[in-house]
Structure 1
């Protein structure tokens, strides 16, 4: 695994299971390890130059974060989300993101970090890099939540959005899924900049409802196609 071998330098002399987990988490987020992939202890441990015990601890940490799963007598795999998982992720998103937007009515915050993600998304779309558009959309929501100024909420949403990307990596046509939300991100930002908090919250509710429905449409079909007997 030459790609992972290049990450060995990131470990330095302070190699820990947490840092190994961070590297693997990044690779999962990028789609290098896709849902359903079995992770080989021998290959990954050799590529990163870490012990089996360290790697197993990293696997345990990522299992706790719902990114990996251990299958009895089969090994460790990148999780494949169920539709119920996706629905629960969006339920959490709506609770948190809408609460953050609502709070801006009492505590306005600078929006430049959110605006930067809109620019990031447009540049990626112009270059036809649709996985990068997906990343920019994730960044938009992460920065939106960061407006709350809460480290615990940030940590919660990092985990939720990392898990959501497992579903995104299964989708066959990322452009179809992500492109419409470039304009919706820009519109929501404009409304927030105008201080129209109630309207922004209403837009966000509709945004997340539509995103969930559209993701389930394509995700459910993709899952059906990968099951035994699927078309």
Structure 2
């Protein structure tokens, strides 16, 4: 099932977030964020002892958090072996992008009249460009995830935000399978800025067009990683 890490991923730093009202949902939220930020790669076994100690939560609370994340398709329980971060298949990639296209495109399409509140997008674009200059491609990946989360946040919908947190955490699991993260992420730095510039100019239709092309190209690129194909239509090749 893959690598076995220390199982805590620096989670002691997040212990203060739990406070006195520690719940399985809040533990799950911390772990989901850590998965989305790349601290737990696919195939990593999550240690109950290490994580429970780092966060200061009971075994029962942690197991409930694991159950919630298993329901979200981020974790998988293997009998007699433990809980692991899921390794996704090509069908998962196609479904993730189908969901992203439906949600993200709808958000941009349904935006009201400009000006739009773009502070979160501005910060995400700036962070990605900073990380790229420093050669931190995992940081670029995280900034890209934040860009799309902030894009969905423009809808002002808690339900959409919750849905996309899980979807984008799954997407991070796909990114881990890419051998050359720079080749994957660098072209999208420019495309993120183009989408931001279109929204700044109040050109919602242009931003929507750029976003759809972006998502289709990104999907096809990642499917080629899974299938190893270079010439065939990747969606057809994936079956």
Task: Give the alignment's TM-score, normalised by structure 2.
Answer: 0.84
Deviates more, 1:187-196 or 1:154-163: 187-196
1:180, distance to aligned residue in structure 2 (A): 0.4
Counterpart check, 1:129 vs 2:145: no
1:102, distance to aligned residue in structure 2 (A): 1.2
Q: CA 1:149–1:71 in 2, change beyond 3 Å: closer, same or farther?
A: same
- Aligned 1:65-214 pairs, distance under 5 A: 65-104=72-111, 106-108=112-114, 109-214=116-221
Counterpart check, 1:63 vs 2:81: no
Q: 1:217 & 1:25 partners in 2: Cα distance?
A: 26
1:32, distance to aligned residue in structure 2 (A): 2.4
Q: CA 1:145–1:6 in 2, change beyond 3 Å: closer, same or farther?
A: closer
1:53, distance to aligned residue in structure 2 (A): 1.2
Give the number of equivalent residue pairs. 220
Deviations 1:132-158 (A, max 9, x none): 111111111111111112111111111
Are the equivalent residues in 2 in contact too, given 1:167–1:219 (CA < 8 A)? no
Q: 1:10 & 1:111 partners in 2: Cα distance?
A: 27
Deviations 1:184-217 (A, max 9, x none): 1111222222222222222111111100111122
Hey, what does 2:223 align to over in structure 1?
Answer: 216
Are the equivalent residues in 1 in contact too, given 2:42–2:176 (CA < 8 A)? yes
Q: CA 1:90–1:49 in 2, change beyond 3 Å: closer, same or farther?
A: same
Are the equivalent residues in 2 in contact too, given 1:101–1:200 (CA < 8 A)? yes
Deviates more, 1:42-51 or 1:204-213: 42-51
1:87, distance to aligned residue in structure 2 (A): 0.6
Task: Give the alignment's TM-score, normalised by structure 1.
Answer: 0.86
Deviates more, 1:193-202 or 1:122-131: 193-202
Q: CA RMSD in A?
A: 1.9
Hey, what does 2:25 align to over in structure 1?
Answer: 18
Unaligned runs of 5+ in 2: 1-5, 229-239
Q: 1:11 & 1:196 partners in 2: Cα distance?
A: 41
Deviates more, 1:108-117 or 1:198-207: 108-117
SS of match in other structure, 1:13: helix
Deviates more, 1:32-41 or 1:5-14: 5-14
1:35, distance to aligned residue in structure 2 (A): 0.6
SS of match in other structure, 1:50: coil
